[in-house]
Amino acid sequence: MKIFLSRILLFTSSLFISWGVLWTLALNFQSIETYFIAERSEHGAVRMKTAELMALSKSDTLDFLFLGSSTCYRGVDPHYLHPLAGFSVCSSSQILGNSSYILDVVLEYTTTHYLVIDVYPKLWSDPGLVNKEAARDWVVNSSTPKRGPILEMVLATGEPYYMAVAGYFWLADLMGVDYPPCAYNPKDKYMGLGFVASEVEPIESLVCDDVDVVMSDETCEVLQGIIAKASLNGAHTILLNPPQLCEESFPTPDCFSDVLYIDGNDWPGAKTPAHYYDDHHLVDLGAASYSAWLSEELKEITTASAAFND
Amino acid sequence: MYWMLGRSKHQLRLQNTLLVMSSYVFYGWWDWRFLGLIAFSTFVDFFAGRAIEKAISKSRAKLFLAISLATNLGLLAYFKYANFFIESWIEAWAGVGVEMHASSLNVILPVGISFYTFQTLSYSIDIYRGKLKPTRDPIAFAAFVSFFPQLVAGPIERASKLLPQIERSRTFDKDLAISGLRLMLWGMFKKVVVADTCARLADKIFDAPELYSGPTLMLGVFYFAFQIYGDFSGYSDIAIGTGRLFGIRLSTNFKFPYFSRDIAEFWRRWHISLSTWFRDYLYIPLGGSRGSQWQVIRNVAVIFIVSGFWHGANWTFVIWGAIHAALFVPLILLKRNRKYASDVVAEGKILPSIRDVWSMGSTFALVCLAWVFFRADTVSGALNYIVGFTELPTPEKPIIHVVYTAFVWIGIMVFVDWLQRDGSIPKWWLKRKFQPLRWFAYGMCVWLCFKNLHSESSFIYFQF
């Protein structure tokens, strides 16, 4: 038995050596990194939007900062907020648990007057408080250093492999290894300020099923934590339910009370199929129309707020 | 813990008790309510076995055997086939214009019921046939029925092989444990890396076959063929490897079936514990290959169709079995079913001959054709899928993007299988001078499993 256990110990050490060899090879050859560690991708443009974020300074206080999932980065174009300043750090499958960590990342570079959180109801039923894919997306593709909140987000997934990936990308950062992304969607066009235009054909019609969603108490607590964090940093929170062709019904969660709320389904074009490429993602033209409407709503809030303060 | 118990005075009893407890915890983890079912099956067969042995007459022995059969097959019939029979009954009447209303039962299929039921059945039947003495140790018997590595998806063990190992005191064997770990790692690679990669691709094609043309549909079956092989043989390897860690040798369940040169050889290499079970407890009692040609055809058809039905309560599985029967019957009638019974393809050679490649390729193609029925949800779905093979690619239905990584993983699995096709790891691979290379390969294997493990997926055969 002793011999067996010593062989196991030796084998375990050899595992780390072989993984060290793999990492060394991956740091030198992108194809090895892609196939054996993780694929750098441009889906959601996290690399470009975080590079843009890093160029901001704390003195450039934003008027609106957007957090959320793909409904947000494909639907909300902050350029429409002009002359106010907006920026979106929305990314694929980013649920509230991820947003909490991503807000910490953003606050290292800038501040905001208003935090707009995209609360797409379908994502409330995501298992776990932190979406694994969104965490992987940030650790692999973010241009920001892989430390602090990003690593905490990966740890919160509880996924050993992602933790190892985070370790690899931390090392890659340290060694200045920065490969270009090798996966991208040719129909996605990054327009700046975190917005990605989807240049795809819209759908013609869609049959909707009734979907009921309930926000769990844990998710509600996460949302309350984000609101508190924003408040501590001098920002008001606005909750934004993105427009959907097929709306989910949900009882208003407790954590929605006393928070400004905009329902994207009030946008006049919300039920026009030609604005969507599926039941909740807007095509570029739909996004333009929606963003114009949303920016008016948001500007109204700032005007009302300014009037109130006066 | 298990091997530490081996130092105590009551070594065997403690080890077996631990095996039973851990097996019940393992099974109860899925759904504790079904622990009663497995305990009931164990109880009935333990006492039925003893009663058969003690029976004063053949008819009384037959009665106790009937109790065992009725209990096991009754449980299987209720939990696995109740809804199927109700729905088929309604459909049959609907076919002649009579509308019947009956709600299907809300029955949950207990994981592994088809496996442990067959295992306990073989125990009672072997005692009745006088081939086995019943055990007097209820703990050992409970460990035999519920031995957790093979409880939910086999290999289906015979009492004559597994029970003596459980009843015998076991000492730690370093080489057996190392070979077990090696097998577990290889099984994990087959399941997590090969099968799960293929599953994602096969599911995409099988879920919407109408979107694809012939070449893509063929590719879908190809992926599924390696998904099911990697999944099931991977599970078997993990089970056998885990067994070895406990000092127990389980039966081989797969012997590189895709290197088979005809269907008869395929069935000697695929899910061996099930096919030999059907051979010993169904085919031979029916008369086997003796009797008239008609009887032989009937016997072959019966075991393949029953085998298909064993896999699931759906006509797709029955047709899958019938296709294999149709492919097997000509071989048995021409007395060519044992042509490849004793050798392995390209024995003693590095590469197969062109004739072997042709035989393996054509057998694989026929097996793949039958897999369409196994994978499809409905018979019409399977037929439409096969009809789709003839459709040429068009701009609306282009050939799907080939995922090279899947081919790399399949290639590695096939290559390693090819090297071990005589049943053992090549000696050069185990030489000391190859140790760094070997451990590096194992390290990569662990990494790849680790990389692919984040997407959760169950084993296909858990549903059976």
Q: Please report residues of A whose CB lies closer than 8 A to that of B174.
A: 1, 3-4, 7
In terms of phi and psi (left: phi > 0; alpha: psi -120 to 50; beta: otherwise), the region of A171 is alpha
B399 pLDDT band, cuts 50/70/90, is confident
* Residue A308 touches chain B, beta carbons under 8 Å: no
- Residue B416 is predicted with a pLDDT of 93
- Residue B422 is predicted with a pLDDT of 81
Domain ranges of chain A: 42-128+185-309
Residue A25 clears pLDDT 70, i.e. is over it: yes
Question: Which one-letter DSSP state was computed for residue A65?
Answer: E
Task: Give percent of chain B with pLDDT exceeding 70.
Answer: 95
Inter-chain contact A1–B174, Cβ cutoff 8 Å? Answer: yes
Residue B400: helix, strand or coil by DSSP?
Answer: coil
Over range A194-215, report the average pLDDT.
87
A291-295, B31-35, B189-193, B327-331: least confidently modelled range? B31-35
Matching residue, tokens 């789709």: B388
Q: How far is B439 from chain A (nearest CA, A)?
A: 7
Q: Please report residues of B whose CB lies closer than 8 A to that of A132.
A: 454
Taking CA atoms, what residue in A is nearest to B177? A4
Of residues B103 and A64, which shows the higher confidence score? Answer: A64
Taking CA atoms, what residue in B is nearest to A132? B454
What does pLDDT average to over chain B? 88
B339-356 confidence digits (pLDDT tens): 887 788 888 888 889 999
In terms of phi and psi (left: phi > 0; alpha: psi -120 to 50; beta: otherwise), the region of B48 is alpha
B112-159 confidence digits (pLDDT tens): 888 889 999 999 999 999 999 999 999 999 999 999 999 888 799 999
3-state helix, strand, coil in chain A (%, to 5): 50, 15, 35
User: In 3D, which of B181, B187, B116 has the Cα closest to residue B152?
Assistant: B116
- For chains A and B, count residue pairs whose Cβ atoms are closer than 8 Å: 48
Q: How many CB atoms lie within 10 A of CB A253?
A: 19
Interface test with B, best of A161, A168, A201 (most B CBs within 10 A): A161
Q: How far is A101 from chain B (nearest CA, A)?
A: 21
B104 pLDDT band, cuts 50/70/90, is low
Inter-chain contact A164–B444, Cβ cutoff 8 Å? Answer: no
Of residues A3 and B89, which shows the higher confidence score? Answer: A3
Residue B90 clears pLDDT 90, i.e. is over it: no
Inter-chain contact A21–B451, Cβ cutoff 8 Å? Answer: no
Residue A199 clears pLDDT 80, i.e. is over it: yes
* Residue B448 touches chain A, beta carbons under 8 Å: yes
B249 pLDDT band, cuts 50/70/90, is very high
Over range A204-225, report the average pLDDT.
87
Q: Please report residues of A whose CB lies closer than 8 A to that of B172.
A: 1, 4
Matching residue, tokens 């920065």: A178
Distance CA(A64)–CA(A67), nearest Å, equals 10
Over range B214-225, report the average pLDDT.
94
Inter-chain contact A161–B446, Cβ cutoff 8 Å? Answer: no
- Residue B455 is predicted with a pLDDT of 61
Residue B7 clears pLDDT 60, i.e. is over it: yes
Give the helix ranges, DSSP H, for B334-456.
354-375, 379-387, 404-419, 435-452
Of residues B175 and B84, which shows the higher confidence score? Answer: B175
Question: Which one-letter DSSP state was computed for residue A79?
Answer: G
B399, containing H or E segment: none
Q: How far is A298 from chain B (nearest CA, A)?
A: 39
Q: How far is B115 from chain A (nearest CA, A)?
A: 32
Taking CA atoms, what residue in B is nearest to A12? B443
- Residue A308 is predicted with a pLDDT of 58
Residue A123 clears pLDDT 90, i.e. is over it: no
Picking from B178, B442, B446, the nearest residue to A7 by CB comes out as B178
Matching residue, tokens 């039905």: B309
Interface test with A, best of B396, B454, B456 (most A CBs within 10 A): B454
B290 pLDDT band, cuts 50/70/90, is confident
- Residue B81 is predicted with a pLDDT of 78
Residue B426 clears pLDDT 90, i.e. is over it: no
Task: Give percent of chain A with pLDDT exceeding 70.
Answer: 97
Picking from A4, A21, A164, the nearest residue to B174 by CB comes out as A4
Q: Would you call B10 a catalytic residue per the annotation?
A: no
Chain B (268-287) residues lying within 8 Å, Cβ to Cβ, of chain A: none
Of residues B102 and A88, which shows the higher confidence score? Answer: A88
Taking CA atoms, what residue in A is nearest to B456? A159
Residue A215 clears pLDDT 70, i.e. is over it: yes
Q: How far is A235 from chain B (nearest CA, A)?
A: 36
Distance CA(B463)–CA(B346), nearest Å, equals 36
Q: What is the 3-state secondary structure (H, E, C) of B266-326?
A: HHHHCCHHHHHHHHHHHHHHHCCCCCCHHHHHHHHHHHHHHHHHHHCCCHHHHHHHHHHHH
* Residue A21 touches chain B, beta carbons under 8 Å: yes
Euclidean distance between the first and final Cα of chain A, in Å?
A: 80
Interface test with B, best of A4, A17, A36, A162 (most B CBs within 10 A): A4
Of residues A210 and B302, which shows the higher confidence score? Answer: B302
Residue B452 contacts by C-beta under 8 Å, 6 or more apart in sequence?
Answer: B192, B193, B196, B197
- Residue A158 is predicted with a pLDDT of 86
Q: What is the ipTM of this complex?
A: 0.75
B410, exposed or middle or buried, with CB in 10 Å at 0-12, 13-18, 19+?
A: buried
Tokens for B234? 């991977």
Residue B196 clears pLDDT 80, i.e. is over it: yes
Chain A (148-207) residues lying within 8 Å, Cβ to Cβ, of chain B: 159-162, 164
Inter-chain contact B447–A14, Cβ cutoff 8 Å? Answer: no
- Residue B84 is predicted with a pLDDT of 74
B293-310 confidence digits (pLDDT tens): 888 889 999 999 999 988
What does pLDDT average to over chain A? 89
Q: Please report residues of A whose CB lies closer than 8 A to that of B178.
A: 4, 7
CATH superfamily to which A42-128+185-309 belongs: SGNH hydrolase (3.40.50.1110)
Of residues B100 and A42, which shows the higher confidence score? Answer: A42
User: In 3D, which of B365, B366, B404, B410 has the Cα closest to residue B230?
Assistant: B410
B387 pLDDT band, cuts 50/70/90, is very high
- Residue A247 is predicted with a pLDDT of 85
Residue B434 clears pLDDT 80, i.e. is over it: yes
Taking CA atoms, what residue in B is nearest to A10? B439
CB B121 within 8 A of CB B128: no
Inter-chain contact A15–B177, Cβ cutoff 8 Å? Answer: no
Taking CA atoms, what residue in B is nearest to A2? B174
Inter-chain contact B451–A161, Cβ cutoff 8 Å? Answer: yes
B460 pLDDT band, cuts 50/70/90, is low
* Residue A5 touches chain B, beta carbons under 8 Å: no
Over range A2-31, report the average pLDDT.
91
CB B407 within 8 A of CB B264: no
Interface test with A, best of B245, B405, B451 (most A CBs within 10 A): B451
Catalytic residue (one of B10, B101, B311, B324): B311
- Residue B342 is predicted with a pLDDT of 76
* Residue B93 touches chain A, beta carbons under 8 Å: no
Distance CA(B16)–CA(B166), nearest Å, equals 7
Residue B464 clears pLDDT 60, i.e. is over it: no
Q: Please report residues of A whose CB lies closer than 8 A to that of B193.
A: none
C-beta contacts of A5-12 below 8 A and 24+ residues apart:
A7/B174, A7/B178, A11/B439, A11/B442
Chain B (167-206) residues lying within 8 Å, Cβ to Cβ, of chain A: 172, 174, 177-178
Distance CA(B66)–CA(B44), nearest Å, equals 11
Tokens for B210? 């109408």
Q: Please report residues of A whose CB lies closer than 8 A to that of B439.
A: 11, 14-15, 18
Inter-chain contact B451–A15, Cβ cutoff 8 Å? Answer: no
B383 pLDDT band, cuts 50/70/90, is very high
- Residue B292 is predicted with a pLDDT of 85
Inter-chain contact B450–A162, Cβ cutoff 8 Å? Answer: no
